[in-house]
Chains A and B, each alone.
Chain A
Amino acid sequence: MELVFLAELAANGALTGLLYSLFAIGLVLIYKASSVPNLAQGGLTMVGAYIVLALARDIGLPLWVAIPLAAVVMFGFGMGIERVALRRLAGRPIVMILMMTLGIDIFLRGTTLAIWGGTSRSVELGVGYDPLFIGDVLISRIHLVGAAVALLLFVVFVLFFRSRLGIRLRAIADDYMASWSVGISVERGVGLSWGLASIVAVAAGVIWGEIQGVDQSLSLLLLKGLTVAVLGGLDSIFGAVLAGLILGILENVGSTYLDPFVGGGSRDLIVAAVLILTVMLRPHGLFGRQDIERV
Chain B
Amino acid sequence: MTQAPDKEATNILSMNSVEVLYDNVMLAIKGVSIQVPKGGMVALLGSNGAGKSTTLKAISGLLKAERGRVSRGEISFDGTVITGLPAQRRVEMGICHVIEGRRVFEHLTPDENLEAAAPLSMNRATLKTEKQRIYEYFPRLAERKNSQAGYLSGGEQQMLAIGRALMTQPRLLMLDEPSLGLAPFLVAEIFSIIKKINKEEKLSVLLVEQNALAALEIVSDGYLIENGRVVMHDTAQALKANSDIQEFYLGGGSGTNFHDIKHYSRRKRWLS
Contact = CB atoms under 8 A, between A and B. Distances in A.
B224 interface: no
A292 B117 contact: no
Contacts of B113: 171
Listed residue (A170, A175, A183, A289) with the most chain B CB atoms within 10 angstroms of its CB:
A183
B119 interface: yes
Given A171-B113, A294-B150, A183 B91 contact: yes
Contacts of B151: 292, 294
Interface string A165-208: 10110110111111111111100000000000000000000000
A180 B168 contact: no
Interface residues of B, number: 34
A177 B35 CA distance: 25
A165 B105 CA distance: 15
A167 B65 contact: no
Contact of B98 (A167, A175, A181, A292): A181
B78 interface: no
Given A174-B108, A175-B105, A177-B99, A168 B150 contact: no
Contacts of A182: 91, 96, 116-117, 164-165, 167-168
B106 A183 contact: no
Contacts of B161: 178
B103 A167 contact: no
A181 B116 contact: no
Nearest to B93: A183
B116 A171 contact: yes
A175 B165 contact: no
Specify the main secondary structure of chain A where it touches its partner. Answer: helix
B145 interface: no
Interface in B65-92: 65, 87-88, 91-92
Given A178-B99, A183-B92, A292 B106 contact: yes
Interface string A124-165: 000000000000000000000000000000000000000011
Nearest to A91: B65
B171 interface: no
B115 A289 contact: no
A263 B263 CA distance: 83
Contact of B119 (A91, A173, A183, A294): A183
A49 to B, nearest CB: 34
A164 B120 CA distance: 8
A167 B115 CA distance: 8
Interface in B94-126: 96-99, 103-108, 112-113, 115-120
Interface string A266-295: 000000000000000000000001001010
A174 B120 CA distance: 19
Contact of A164 (B87, B96, B118, B165): B118
20 contacts: A164-B120, A168-B116, A168-B120, A171-B113, A174-B107, A177-B99, A178-B161, A180-B62, A181-B165, A182-B91, A182-B117, A182-B165, A183-B168, A184-B117, A185-B88, A289-B107, A292-B106, A292-B148, A294-B150, A294-B151
Interface of B: 60, 62, 65, 87-88, 91-92, 96-99, 103-108, 112-113, 115-120, 148, 150-151, 154, 161, 164-165, 167-168
Given A174-B106, A292-B107, 6 more contacts: A167-B108, A167-B115, A170-B116, A171-B112, A173-B107, A179-B116
